[in-house]
A and B are shown apart, each in its own frame.
Chain A
Amino acid sequence: MTNIKTGLLAATAVLLAAPAFAEWAPERPLEFIVASGAGGGTDNFARTIQAAITRGDVIEQPIVVLNKGGGSGAEAFLYAKQNAENPHKLIFGTNNVYLLPHVAKLAYEAKDLQPVAALALDEFLIWVKADSPYQTAMDMIEAAKAAPGTIVFGGSQSKDTDETLVALIEQTTGAEFKYVPFNGGGEVGVQLAGGHVAANVNNPNENLGQWQAGAIRPLCVFAPQRMAESAPIQGEMGWHDIPTCKEQGLDIESYQMPRTVWLPAGTPPEVLAYYEAALQKVSESQEWQDYLTKTSQSAAFLTGDALASFIAKSEGDTVKVFEAEGWSAK
């Protein structure tokens, strides 16, 4: 008798709390497939979400995180293709999901994955060494025009976001730089602080430590508006004091990297709805806000059509850069 009552109460509670996605809930432990090695940006992204879900009791089932970072993340996306229609595997990536197939011959296509949500936008900035002669992005571009191919940009990976951005700057301004790929953002930050490269286009988080120490400084940020207010980081300067590149006369409206969550293609719509709602809760949690502040990323929560059009625009813009550089894989 009492058991039935509590059961009914619980059922009503569930129905009231989550009427939109009561149709489907995971029946097995979830797998979070991370398209980077342990410790990478995408890995932190996935593990923060895992923590927020576990602590907020957003999803009852246990969660296992698996890193599949091989081939710049292609390993994870191939895994998604092999697990088509499996509703218990979420894939964590960036824009690499839809950009990789354009630059490399791979056995998957972007349509093998179903976008669920984008939860944050990571910004890109131009950074130079503290004692660099360049005060604005345009100083540097003029210098590059005067001596083509001598100013060295360090970046992480090849034909990835960093090199794409440098190529975009070159195509927009006609300047010519030299790009040298390293293994990761942290390494590129130190190469800059040590004076082995002239500049880099790291995300805020990757260069924060060196900026605090006054070893390097930012020139401008590739965003439509300045970054959010923050406590001063180096001297008087905080994130909001960094001008946008557009302000400085560099005609690139925005270049941002979304942090995205995907499902294998072919899952029913109620599964998608369930995860959209769950991630919505995550994006409202305190853990998530802390993560955004600590890593200096911009908040964004995109799902459904908004997400689809974001992806379409981002993909279209980037593919133009690829084609101009001759990187497109046939």
Chain B
Amino acid sequence: MGNFDLLMTGFGIAITPMHLMLMVCGVLMGLVVGVLPGLGAPNGVSLLIPLTFTLDPTSAIILLSSMYWGALFGGSTTSILFNIPGEPSSVATTFDGYPMAQSGQSTRALTLAFMSAGIGALMGVIVITLLAGWASNFALRFGAPEYFAVYFLAFAAFIGMGSASPAKTMVSLTVGLLLASVGMDTVTGEIRLTYGFSELLGGISFLVVVIGLFGIGELLATVQEGLRFRGVASRIHLRDVFRTIAELPRYWATTLRSGLIGIWMGITPGGPTAASFMSYGIARQASRKGAAFGTGRPEGIVAPETADHSAGTCAMLPMLALGVPSSATAAVMMGGLMIWGLTPGPMLFATKPDFVWGLIASMYISNIVGVILVLATVPLFAAMLRIPFAIIGPMIVAICFVGAYTVGSSTFDLWLVLLFGLVGYLFNKLDYPLAPLVLAMVLGHKAENAFHQSMLLSDGSLGIFFANPLVSSIMVVGLALLIVPKLLQLGARLRRPATVE
């Protein structure tokens, strides 16, 4: 039986009133979880797991995965409206989504985000449908050096070109790397940089830092200008939604490229967060209006959202076929799988075709359900911008702190949010770029681990990063992404005086 027939059987399983209802419930709960910063998809999914004991595994995974999609959608909403990333993977969406919303086009920004997210997810599912077997074999070829190369590639793609001062970029990057290395180091088993504080034992949570830097930092900037949101909340017309949808085909190149990046990062275990950063970085380099990125460019929303969702869906594949989750949420779902008595691994596709293909078919449907539901919430969220600042401001503050608290139920995190709020405000004011810090926190420690593991394997020889065609080609692409834009910049600078003379 070909994959297509299996998929049709899958649709037969997924389209029942019961399953459709589970999808709607899952997506709605996911939206709530995604909108609240801190309380992300991994939390939400793990809270639902006990409920799934009474369901059969197919229904259970449909519920959980729908919640995941809902959370991914919801995460972009707060990124765009309040500059608070509801999910780690929607940090990159703030870069252009928030400025666009501020310029009075919140409907456009939200619609762009949701539509490209939906398209990204569909691209991901199509790849899973067509290439399930091949992709999981491919993922098996990834050892420690290849992991490092993938992280390096993501770094290179994002850092390669930035308009900020190099020294300030370096400060931001190194601060992020240091924050990421606090806590237990996997490879050496040493506890690092905790200075005797038990609170730091678990490391500094990326989410807490992001909530502070972006959420509180942005509120401080708003307050500085007077107690109002800088953006004018425009009226919501359904027409705006449709007009934006009609605008989408213009960004087909960005969409396609970002979707492929997302698929690549979802299958190789880079994860959705890294995918969205990488995609944003590459879109900025590829665009002729690259310098305008960060001021509300539509491509700056399309790129991270498409990549985020295609990576999120593709991350299901290594989880099901190999038992390697490439996102935190996938890790929780895998735990669920084991509790239901299913063993993730290459045989799952053969032994439980109903489960696997039911899930894959449901991914098509629930993502479409997700787009529709989330578009329906656009007016609601955009209306929130019209609430006077004296009320909505403190509420956002409260949600930021509550969200940070739910990450690890630790009161210490409340102080961290406050601290990073001030840091975020100051860095913004002084033109320190925040993105390198965030990316370094996401990838820094993983990259270090992979590097260290590679060194253990090769007895300290760097040659291992060029030991086979796969790892060397990823490294070469990464190096090229890092160096070529600098050369182009240099070239442009050399040429300009020549034309003046």
Q: Which residues of A contact B (CB under 8 A)?
A: 37-40, 43-44, 47-48, 50-51, 54-55, 65-72, 74-75, 78, 103-107, 152, 157-160, 163, 178, 180-183, 186-187, 189-191, 193-194, 196, 205-206, 208-210, 212-213, 215, 287, 290-291, 293-295
Closest B residue to A181 by beta carbon equals B187
> Are B456 and A180 touching (Cβ within 8 A)?
yes
Q: How many residues of B contact A (CB 8 A)?
A: 54
CB neighbours of A183 from chain B (8 A):
186, 449
* Centre residue among B186, B187, B334, B338 by max chain A CB count within 10 A: B338
Residue contact A294 to B338, C-beta cutoff 8 Å = yes
Kindly state the separation between the CA atoms of A67 and B40 in the bound complex, as whole angstroms: 14
- Report the 4 A-B pairs with minimum CB-CB distance, sorted nearest first: A209-B345, A70-B202, A158-B189, A196-B143
Q: Are B201 and A75 in contact (CB under 8 A)?
A: yes
Q: How many A-B residue pairs have CB under 8 A?
A: 158
21 contacts between A and B (CB under 8 A): A39-B332, A44-B339, A47-B335, A70-B408, A71-B202, A72-B189, A74-B184, A75-B408, A104-B190, A158-B187, A180-B144, A180-B453, A189-B323, A191-B143, A193-B322, A194-B143, A205-B338, A206-B323, A209-B322, A210-B345, A295-B338
CB distance from A32 to the nearest CB of B (A): 11
Interface residue B13 (Cβ < 8 Å from any Cβ of A): no
CB distance from B455 to the nearest CB of A (A): 10
Known: A74-B184, A106-B191, A208-B345. 20 other contacts (CB 8 A): A39-B336, A44-B339, A47-B50, A47-B335, A68-B409, A69-B202, A70-B183, A71-B183, A78-B201, A107-B196, A107-B198, A158-B186, A180-B144, A186-B322, A186-B324, A190-B140, A194-B141, A209-B322, A209-B347, A295-B338
Within the complex, the shortest CB–CB distance from A170 to chain B, in Å, comes to: 16
Residues of A within 8 A of B344 (CB): 186, 209
Which residues, 320 to 335 on B, are CB-close (under 8 Å) to A?
322-325, 328, 331-335
The reply to whether B343 and A208 form a contact with Cβ atoms under 8 Å apart is yes
Query: A190: which of B184, B322, B341 is its contact (CB, 8 Å)?
Result: B322
* Contact call B186/A291, Cβ cutoff below 8 A: no
Q: Tell me, rounded to whole Å, the shortest Cβ–Cβ distance linking A239 to chain B.
A: 13
The stretch among B41-49, B159-167, B278-286, B483-491 that forms the contact with chain A is: B41-49
Bound CA span A103–B61, Å = 39
Contact with A along B227-271 (1 / 0, CB 8 A): 000000000000000000000000000000000000000000000
A295 proximity list for chain B (CB < 8 A): 338
A213 to B136, CA, bound (A): 13
Q: Which residues of B contact A (CB under 8 A)?
A: 42-43, 45-46, 49-50, 53, 139-144, 183-191, 196, 198, 201-203, 322-325, 328, 331-336, 338-339, 341, 343-348, 351, 408-409, 449, 453, 456-457
Chain B residues within 8 Å of A181, by CB: 186-187, 189, 453
B13 → A minimal CB distance (Å): 22
CA distance A290 to B187 in the complex (A): 34
Q: Which of A70, A72, A191, A291 contacts B339 (CB 8 A)?
A: A291
- Whether A104 contacts B189 by the Cβ 8 Å rule is yes
Cα of A40 to Cα of B331 in the assembled complex, Å: 8
- Residues of the A chain whose Cβ atoms lie less than 8 Å from the Cβ of B185: 158
User: Are B46's CB and A67's CB within 8 A?
Assistant: yes
Min C-beta distance of A214 to chain B, whole Å: 9
Contacting pair B187 A70 (CB below 8 A): no
Least CB distance, A261 to chain B, in whole angstroms: 17
In chain B, what residue has the closest Cβ to A185? B323
Give min CB distance, B3 to chain A, whole Å: 18
